[in-house]
Amino acid sequence: MDRRDFIRSTSLATLGGFALRGMSSPLFAPLLASGVEEDRVLVLVQLYGGNDGLNTVIPLDQYPLLSQFRSNILIPEPQVLSLPGSGGATGLHPSLTGLQDLWNDGKLSIVQGVSYPDPSYSHFRATDIWETGSGSDQVVESGWVARYLNNEFPNYPVGFPNANMPDPLAIRVGGPITVGLQNIGVSMGVAINNTSDPLNLTGSLYVDPITPDCRGEKLNFVRTVQRQTDEYGDVINAAAIQGCNQSTLYPSGNQPGAQLAQALKIVAQLICGGLKTRVYWVSLNGFDTHAQQTDATDHTIGAHANLLQGVSDSIRAFQDDLHLLNLEDRVIGMTFSEFGRRITSNGSGGTDHGSAEPIFLFGTQVVPGLLGDNPQIDPNTTYNTNLPMQYDFRSVYASVLKDWFCVPQAEIDQVLMDFYQPLTLVDPAGCLSTGLHALNQGSGNSLLEILPNPFTESTSVRFSSSGGRVILQVFNEEGRTVQVLVNRDMPAGTHTAGCDLGNMPSGIYYCRLQNEGRQQVKSMLKVR
């Protein structure tokens, strides 16, 4: 088998202008031997490049300070879309009318300040961290979704597809299989790539005989994947041929987000066509907005506005399709990017790599509303100051695994390689083994007090616990962990911890409290 034959073996079939490629793998089989069509689906929407969260979910209560630090890109206050229920404190970019509609319909959850300790500002490394669920000091060769699939179906690829699970467990639409869907070199999904040149697979892998050595063993594995790929191509085409999309709202042609819309249209088509696939992964490029993020004379339009409109309109059309197809209650979606952007804009009319970002969850089964507080902009902000983390992104993953896929906590800890406190993001009513988390997650209540503040050497942190695990951390303005003051189970009540930063330089620091689903972040100022 030469290199040409091997490359040819990775192509499969076309679907809506995309070509199916054989990075295949099933995994979800025994989980649902009956009624699998009623199972839950997760759609991941990846925004490559690092989305500017402060021009996406706009903290209107911080507007005067934002005007000081990003006057050359800030959205004019009268043009910001209102979010009813936020008390006028929070709004959306004017291009996000589709997401505003979902908010008004109770189908949108916004999580503020999502990041992780010691964030990376490299696109490649940060993307790996988000896709694998690793810490910044870990290099992991498996994705968090792939580990979940492997945890449920450890025998893959042996015996798949089968009668219980004849379909791919995950499908990547519009791009290749990346580490997020790989488990130590084994792909846990098929990819539908954008190409119009599918190649015939017939006989392409059956030239060389199997030999009883290492080469033969590897060839046999490749042929197994090939057979699975052929079969998955058949079932995907069978689902797609029904052509049951109903929404007329999908962007097309030269409209912003047309490629993302086409990918989501295919996802709706395959769900409607009866696939038992659990996870779909789509993406949109272009969010690395270092320069000319907005039009110089009108900050409501420009590159970033077009990107956001594409995401918003595509998700709105997808949700409309699910509604018309009577599939809404089976599907939730989640956006994410590898990082946010800096508070202070640059001289090129753009923003540079930052840390925390807002993410969106959408669907009828998400708990609607705003989770977390508007980021507090410190008056002493410098070019290096980043938004503080409010929620660890792995807490978001833990919430989806727990309350959407009904995974027991012990297994979630294995998948995410540590314990991360779940949040109230998804209605857990359909999961028999989980209870509803407390809806009061700390927003609006004072859980954390720092006295004195400002301080010169040390200060005291007084905090409230409702019982259970308490994590109390201090970060510098770049998001690096400076101290972990508390990380243990604590009884309910008010507690105090000392914080000594005598050996640290003066400047802005952030103290973050997380207690089960409750969190709060407050800034600290160390002076000379």
- Collapsing DSSP to helix, strand or coil, 526 comes out as strand
58, 80 contact by CB (below 8 A): yes
Q: Provide the 10 A C-beta neighbour count for residue 105.
A: 13
Are 375 and 112 within 8 A, CB to CB?
yes
> Which sign, positive or negative, has the C-alpha torsion 172, 177, 180, 182?
positive
pLDDT at 397 (0 to 100): 98
Question: What does the pLDDT look like over 70-96, one tens digit per residue?
Answer: 999 999 999 999 999 999 999 999 999
Give me the residue label for tokens 């798949």.
Answer: 160
Q: Which of 387, 424, 382, 417 is nearest to 402 (CA)?
A: 424
Beta bridge partners of 41: 331
pLDDT tens across the length of the chain (528 residues): 333 233 233 333 445 545 444 333 333 333 333 333 358 999 999 999 999 999 999 999 999 999 999 999 999 999 999 999 999 999 999 999 999 999 999 999 999 999 999 999 999 999 999 999 999 999 998 999 999 988 887 777 767 787 877 888 899 998 889 999 998 888 888 888 742 222 232 333 334 455 666 555 555 555 555 555 666 777 777 777 777 889 999 999 999 999 999 999 999 999 998 898 999 999 999 999 999 999 999 999 999 999 999 999 999 999 999 999 999 999 999 999 999 999 999 999 999 999 999 999 999 999 999 999 999 899 999 999 999 999 999 999 999 999 999 999 989 999 999 999 999 999 988 784 333 333 334 445 688 898 998 899 999 999 999 999 999 999 998 889 999 999 999 999 999 999 999 999 988 898 999 898 788 888 888 887
Chain position carrying tokens 């990819």: 191
C-alpha to C-alpha distance for 130 and 125, rounded to whole angstroms: 9
- Give the torsion sign (CA, 45, 47, 48, 53): negative
Sole residue written with tokens 């046999």: 220
Q: What is the DSSP string of 323-344?
A: HHTT-GGGEEEEEEES--B-SS
Q: What is the DSSP string of 390-410?
A: SEEHHHHHHHHHHHTS---HH
**Of 508, 513, 504, nearest to 524 (Cα)?**
508
Domains of the chain, earliest start first: 3-416 (no CATH), 448-526 (2.60.40.1930)
Task: Note the pLDDT of residue 516.
Answer: 80
Q: How far apart are CA 99 and CA 110, in angstroms?
A: 10
CA distance 358 to 125: 19
Q: Which two tokens stand for residue 8?
A: 């040819």
Sheet bearing 493-500, strands edge to edge: 448-451, 458-465, 493-500
Q: Which residues are CB-contacts of 151 (< 8 A; sequence separation ≥ 6)? A: 411, 414, 415
**Which residues, including other chains, have CB under 8 Å from residue 4's CB and lie 6 or more apart?**
none
C-alpha span between 179 and 198 (Å, rounded): 24
Instruction: Supply the Cα-derived Rg of the chain in whole angstroms.
Output: 24
Q: What local confidence, expressed as pLDDT, does residue 228 receive?
A: 59
The model carries a pTM of 0.81
Q: How many CA atoms lie within 13 A of 162 on its CB side?
A: 15
